[in-house]
Chain A
Amino acid sequence: MSQIHKIHQQLVSKEISCTKLVQERLDLLKSNTHNTVNSLLDSLALDLAAKVDAKIAKGEEIGLLEGIPFGIKDVYMVQGTLTTASSDLIKNYKSSYTATAIQKLLDAGAIPLVKENCDSFGHGSSSENTIFGAVKNAMNTDLVAGGSSGGSAVNVAKDYTVFSIGGDTGGSVRQPAGYNKIYGLKPTYGRISRYGLMAYASSTDCVGPIAKSIEDIRIVLNVMSGKDVKDQTTYPSEEISKENILKSEEIKTVGYFKNFIESDAIDVQVKADFLVSIEKIKAKGIEVKELDFFESDTLVSTYYTLAMAETASNLSRLDGTNYGARIEGDNLKDTYSITRSENFSEETKRRIVGGNQVLSQGFSDEIYLKGLNLRDQISENFEKDFKEVAIILSPVTPSSPPKIGDSLKDPLAMYLSDAYTVGFSLGQLPTLTVPQGTATGLQITAAKNNDELVLKFANFLKDTL
């Protein structure tokens, strides 16, 4: 059920006041022990709530998102608020402007409550790479929340926020959504402006809504979508209507990647549950095709090679000159390197160094350019697949969430756990995690710009599985 519609009705009928609603959620966030909060936006939120209450008291109509409390991953600029990327380097950095996607939500009247904990600069799959303490899973606090948008996923799962805005570069919305049994969408690359989202890997970075229902994902997606002159990779898109995504008759064929399911790395239960889901879909008269795809290690290596190269470049600006925790050295160069060595986490340094390695002479042809070539082949493969099937279905992860502490010990294992999410990032395809089918959910993927079809199939699965 849509939380947004429900709360909207409660506000309109004066069953609850917006101030009370916001205060309750702020209290829950403040007292929570899952480490989801980097900073609370309490005075801003309460000021906005009072305005919504005044409007309702005057008998004025309010919009659907007006007064709805939401959370923001701490990598989005919101003017005047701390934006730390969960890092020491910019732990005191204050945003001077507001991200386009967030501004659109503010313009629609939604109320921001919190800047949410995440892996530093998006570098991680467990939300342990953070100066604010590892985020704990909503269902079992011994387990990781997933990442990098772990705080956002847990806040939604625990009803601390009605929806949250995460960021997905290689699975950072979809995987924590799966680990916490909620919905998380990575839209088609370019559907939502990245302006004001701190850049990790610019060619796959996506703004992604996390919520408890398909309808709430649809509402938030519609508000944030659209062309933005400040992000020239954006494109104009049509609004997705509520009615359109309730009918799924046009979906006649679904595919899945045989090698994902036959891999040695997949947990036996995840595999068995996935195959049961496939049988249920077949029983509804949908044709299911097995598809060939690249090996997991090729996908993961291609993604990480390109993402590291891009992050090495994007994070080179963080040298303590204009902002950030500068540590003075003997000269400018020394200041840069001390500032960066002391303030970046081990994982962030690993990715920056890896990125500079592949971009340097002697490595770039053999690794970086080959990675770009592989990415093109992956995209071609998707184009071919979507001539045969309307939807590709996959597990979100090969296994259940690891225990807190395990991922940091073994970075390679953490990279490999992204095997099922990174391919769709490289292809820039719309992909939604739904909390059904396996212990960590299922991913629904459609061809580029076909976000509507993804939501349609999600509704079908909700009724089928």
Chain B
Amino acid sequence: MSKIMTVDILSSIKGAKESEAVSKLFDAIKNANTSNSNATNTNHTNAVSLDDLREDVVIDSPQAEKQIIIENFPKEKDGYLVVSKVIEE
């Protein structure tokens, strides 16, 4: 059986709770009238056309970029990123 995912787990934020201010915004949406007509989906036309996709090639990052990425590692050992212990449950 699937577990219920609460907002603190979904958000990966300890003790997170629903906010009253945000709930009021959601209430306004619930109460708003929406038309029955099929909207023209004008905002859904942002996707690029298939004829216009960029080339699917691997571009190697410049050395300077790689160096900064390593500098940003929260924990580093011998040039490698140290990650947290994986979930054991």
Residue numbers of A with Cβ under 8 A of B are: 79-80, 93-97, 189-190, 203, 229, 232-233, 297-298, 300-302, 304-305, 308, 312, 316, 319-326, 328-338, 340-341, 344, 349-354, 356-358, 360, 363, 366-367, 370-377, 379-380, 383, 410-412, 415, 426, 428
Beyond the given A331-B87, A370-B32, please list 11 additional residue pairs across the A-B interface where CB-CB is below 8 A: A229-B54, A302-B32, A312-B11, A316-B12, A341-B15, A350-B22, A353-B8, A353-B11, A354-B25, A357-B7, A379-B40
Do B86 and A331 have beta carbons less than 8 Å apart? yes
Interface of B, secondary structure class, is: loop
Q: Name the one of A300, A332, A353, A358 contacting B13, with C-beta atoms under 8 angstroms.
A: A353
B68 within 8 A of A: yes
Do B84 and A335 have beta carbons less than 8 Å apart? yes
Q: Name the one of A298, A323, A324, A411 contacting B32, with C-beta atoms under 8 angstroms.
A: A298
CB-nearest residue of chain B relative to A354? B22
What residues of A have a CB within 8 angstroms of the CB of B25 in the complex? 300-301, 304-305, 354, 412, 415
29 A–B contacts from the bound complex (CB under 8 Å): A80-B68, A96-B64, A190-B46, A297-B28, A300-B25, A304-B22, A304-B25, A305-B25, A322-B73, A323-B73, A324-B74, A325-B74, A332-B87, A333-B87, A334-B84, A338-B14, A340-B12, A344-B13, A349-B11, A358-B26, A363-B26, A367-B30, A370-B30, A374-B32, A374-B34, A376-B39, A377-B39, A380-B39, A383-B42
What residues of A have a CB within 8 angstroms of the CB of B18 in the complex? 353-354, 357
A9 vs B34: C-alpha distance when bound (angstroms): 56
A158 vs B66: C-alpha distance when bound (angstroms): 38
CB-nearest residue of chain B relative to A359? B10
B58 within 8 A of A: no
Do A96 and B22 have beta carbons less than 8 Å apart? no
Do B26 and A376 have beta carbons less than 8 Å apart? no
- The 10 A-B residue pairs with the shortest CB-CB distance in the complex, in nearest-first order: A376-B39, A326-B74, A301-B28, A96-B68, A323-B72, A412-B21, A354-B22, A232-B48, A335-B84, A356-B10
- Contact flags (1/0) for B38-76 with A, using CB distance below 8 Å? 011111001110001110000001001110110111110
A95 vs B66: C-alpha distance when bound (angstroms): 11
- Which of A229, A301, A360 has most B Cβ within 10 Å? A301
What residues of B have a CB within 8 angstroms of the CB of A358 in the complex? 26
What residues of A have a CB within 8 angstroms of the CB of B39 in the complex? 373, 376-377, 379-380
A326 vs B85: C-alpha distance when bound (angstroms): 13
Given A326-B75, A360-B5, A367-B30, are A336 and B81 neighbors across the interface (CB < 8 Å)?
no
What residues of A have a CB within 8 angstroms of the CB of B64 in the complex? 79-80, 96
What residues of B have a CB within 8 angstroms of the CB of A367 in the complex? 26, 29-30
